[in-house]
Amino acid sequence: MDGTLDHVMIRVEDLEESLDWYQTHLNYEEKGRWEADTFTNVFLGPEDVHEDGALLELTYNHDGRTYEIGDAWGHIAVRVPEDALQDSYDQLMAEGVEDYRDPESCGNRYAFVKDPDGHEIEIVKRDHGAKWSIDHTMIRVEDADEALGYWTRKFEYTEVPGRWEADSFSNYFVAPEDAPEEAMKIELTYNYDGREYTMGDAWGHVAVRVDDLDDAWDDLMTREAPDYRDPESCDHNYAFTKDQDGHEVELVTRD
């Protein structure tokens, strides 16, 4: 399978408010939209996003439901130039974005803001990729060995530079072996205190791009991935499995 991370999906309670937020503050543009009877999906990204760069999918359900963030999903991280962290954060503050964790409180290595629904967005310094493009998606895992094994065996991912082992937690980054640096990565965060996590429903899934949906699904079943929503149940447009902690992983094809 190709294995490139295609997009990350989050659920929003007010589509127009969310679209305005991402288009105004991160300069995203609409890349695609799917209007159904009960929901709307909108795909966003920078104008000059890399061909293997990930998009952000906003899902809006028409029934007015509300969502719980939970803590099993952590954040998405977006890129700014190496010398532009403070200026980029100051720009967001001047535009009225919520002041969550400023660069100084993060050792001037990164910063955090939140979108209108409370999804955390990390701002990271990178010398590659379009400004505000998605660098990684962080998820929390209860067993680091199982999580690394899942992505290695099921999706043929490898650990890439960025590992950070602290006194109370570790961060591991995984991606396809040959993925360009502009592609999105998965950050696995493992806390040493044995805590458990609540999935919530404000976060949806990460999507992995595959060359052939049925072949990729057969490979996952051979590798004992959870059979959550097979291609047939999704009209052969996509499929879903889950990782060892229950984070949903979508399989998609893209021309």
CA distance 121 to 137: 9
Question: Are 29 and 47 in contact, with CB atoms under 8 Å apart?
Answer: yes
CB atoms near residue 240 (< 10 Å): 19
122: annotated active-site residue = yes
Q: Largest Cα–Cα distance in the chain?
A: 52
Q: How far is CA 17 from CA 23, 27, 33, 44, 168, in A?
A: 10, 14, 16, 14, 37
Give just the sign of the alpha carbon dihedral 97, 118, 44, 48.
positive
Question: Are 199 and 139 in contact, with CB atoms under 8 Å apart?
Answer: no
- Among the listed residues 68, 95, 122, 142, the single catalytic one is 122
CB atoms near residue 103 (< 10 Å): 19
Would you name the residues annotated as active-site residues? Answer: 122
